[in-house]
Amino acid sequence: MSLSKIINGDKVLLVIVMLLAIFSFLPVFSASSNLSYGIGGSSPLVYLIKHFIILLFGFILMITIQKIPFKNYRWISILLLPIGLFLLIYTASQGTMISGANASRWINIPIIGVSFQSSSLASIILLTYVAHYLAKYDLKKIEFSKTVVPLWAPIFIYIFLILPSNFSTAALLFLSIILTLFVSGYPFRHLFKIVAFLVVFFMFFLTIVKEHPDKFPNRVDTWVSRIENFKSAKNIDANYQIEKAKAAIINGGLFGVGVGKSVMKYHLPQSSSDFIFAIIVEEFGVIVGGLLIILYLLMLFRVLVIVHKVDNKFGQILVTALGLYIIIQAFTNISVSTQVIPVTGQNLPLVSSGGSAAWITCICLGMILSVSSSINNKKAK
């Protein structure tokens, strides 16, 4: 049985996903040398096998979720909304330590020895719930007061629980929601009120953090300092990672130094995840880096094609929300390596090494393919 029969979704999107996943093995294998020899650990082959197993399980997740009729995601999101809330509260309260550092964004599962970011799973739950809510109403006529409790309350609660320990994910999630609301036709004047309120709140929050740094988790200090260092660009030590990433891109030139010949991977602590785009450009060149960007743009184009073809409002909004979430994450990772934005810690979807991040991306793609498969099923009937 061919893969196209197993996955009855958008074939072009599937090809893009496969290309990104297959390509990822080369940079992950190369960049993992940093973990093997620079930091100390197992052979790069071990990390390559681990990456293969993670992607394999991710594709199993994607295929399984793609088989679920997408209309079922509506009631599933309602059911999972309080569960996601519980996971976020539990994660924030347990204060997990990983390699001696505070990692209150993670949950450990000791039975199978796996840890995952509850914020990533919660993001999918919230995006699906938002799509469910928006699909119920004529958004052009909706009153702001009627959306405060059922729509904005869950959004604010989720965002504020994620924010202290994982600013980048909170920002990514909020931006995805705002863009989804805008594209879906939610009144702009209502969006302006929300954004204005959050800007004021965020500035107030930063002031409180600076005045009372001991009252907040050390992750808050981390992202506050990253924002300040990005604005000043004077602290060489604090901007060490971004300087090495830029050096990697410069070393790569048009055609790169060759597969496995990166020098900067030994100087970048997160060379196989957060800064993998810089390593890709160094080894494969700007041309391949540009082709990688084109693949993500093509993925966005296929998402728009699916949105245009599906005749179900919930399906349209769901694909928009999940597609934007993946694409924004991709360009966030690329923007960090090119110093367009401060260091965030976001992976490059389907390319970076990592467990839960790759699985969450595959879950999103499975849901998108479920919507697109409904189009094919309708044509077949």
pLDDT above 60 (res 95):
no
d(Cα 179, Cα 182) in Å, to the nearest integer? 5
**Kind of pairing, strands 114-117 and 101-102?**
unpaired
More confident residue, 21 or 141: 21
Closest CA to 33 of 355, 353, 290, 359: 353
Amino acid code (one letter) for 197 = F
Residues 130-177: pLDDT tens digits? 999 999 988 888 888 889 999 999 999 999 888 877 888 888 999 999
C-beta of residue 318 within 8 angstroms of C-beta of residue 73: yes
Residues 252-311: tens digit of each pLDDT: 888 888 887 877 777 777 777 778 898 899 999 999 999 999 999 999 999 999 999 998
Would you tell me how many other CB atoms lie within 10 Å of the CB of residue 177? 26
Q: Are strands 106-109 and 114-117 parallel, antiparallel or unpaired?
A: antiparallel
Give the bridge partners for 115, in sequence order: 108
Q: What is the pLDDT of residue 102?
A: 46
- The answer to whether 370 and 9 are in contact (CB under 8 A) is yes
Q: How confident is the model at residue 2 (pLDDT cuts 50, 70, 90)?
A: low
Which of the pair, 221 or 268, is modelled with greater confidence? 268
The arithmetic mean of pLDDT across residues 166-189, rounded, is: 91
In the predicted structure, residue 349 carries a pLDDT above the cut 50: yes
